[in-house]
Structure 1
Amino acid sequence: MSSTKRENQSDIESYKTPFSVSQLIISLLLGTYFLTVEIIELSLSTYAWKQNKLEVYQQYLIFKSEAPIWKYWQLFTTLIVPLTIFATTKDLFQILTKKATTQRHLLDIIAAFQLYGILYTIIARIMPLESRLIEETSKDIAHDLNMIHWVAFMLNILGWCIPIFRYRESKYAKYFHLEKKKEE
C-alpha cells in the first residue's frame, strides 16, 4: 500500500504543477497594468508623430524621466522582472525534466519568447530611442519609436493572453487526474 502511495506521489511530482487561480489573477492584474502603460505610450507616440507635435512627446519623455513619484513607481515595478525571468526560465528548463502536455510546453516557450522579446524591445530599442528624442526632436526618431511601441504593444497583448491559455490548459492537464487518484 505504501509503495503505491510513493509511486503515485512520484508520478505526480514528475508533472509540471498546474497554473492556479491565484497565479491567473496576479498575472492578469500585472499584465493589465503593463498593457495600460504601453497603450498610453503608444497613443502618445502615435499622436505626436502623426500630428507633428514632437515637442509634446519630448516634454513627456523629460517629465517621465524626472518625475519623482513616477520614477520610483517604475523602479518598484521593475522588481517584478527578476522574479518573472526566474519563473519563465524555470518553466523552460522543466520542458526537459517534467511531464506536461504539448500545449503546456508550447505555452512555456511562447511565454519565454514574449518576456525576453519585450525586455529586448524596451531595453535595447525603446530606451535608447527615447534618450535620442529627448536630446533632439526628429520625425525619423519619432517614427521609429512609434513602430517599436507597436511591437511592444503586440507583445504586451500576447503577455496578457498567455495566463488565460495556461490556466485553461492546466484545468485539463493530467496532473489533476493523478491528484484525484491520490485522494482515492
Structure 2
Amino acid sequence: MTDGETIRSFLERDHARLDQLLARAGRDLENIDMKAFGEFRRGLLKHIGMEEKILLPAMQRLRCGEPLAIAAKLRLDHGAIAALLVPMPRGAVLRALKTVLATHNRIEEGPDGVYAECDRIADTESEALVRCLRAAPEVPAAAHVDGPKVESAARRALARAGFDAALLDS
C-alpha cells in the first residue's frame, strides 16, 4: 500500500473532509457560507468522479466484467447528489444533501462497506488504485441554475435513488 493507505482509508478520509465542509457551509442556513459550499461542491464532484470513472470500472474489470451488485444503487445516489448541486444552495438543499450523504456514506464506509469490499477485490492492485484516485483531476463545476425544471429534475433524481422528493420542501 502507499504509506499503508487503502482504498477505504483514502475515500473515507475524503468523506470526512467533505462532511466538515458541508457542516461549515450550513452552520447558519439563513446565511450559507458560499466559499465553504463551493469547496464542498467541487470536492464532492471530484469524489463522485473518482468512484464513477476509476473505482467502479476497476472493480468491474477485476470481476471479469461483472459490476459490483451495489453499483447501480451507488450511481442512482450519485445522480441525486449531483442534481442537488445544481441549484443555488438553500437550507432545504443542504438538509437534503446531508440526508442523502448520510445514507450513501453508510453503504460505502466501514469494514463491511463498499470500500472495504473494493480493497478485498483489488488485493495486490489496491496500491495502484489509490495512486489513480489521488491523481484524479478536479471536476469543473458549472454555475448554479435555479428554476422549476431544475427543482423537478432534482426531485425525480431523489425519487429514483429511493429518497423522498419532499426532502427539498422548505
Greater radius of gyration (CA): 1
> Which structure has greater helix proportion?
1
Could you state the TM-score of these two structures normalised by the residue count of structure 1? 0.45
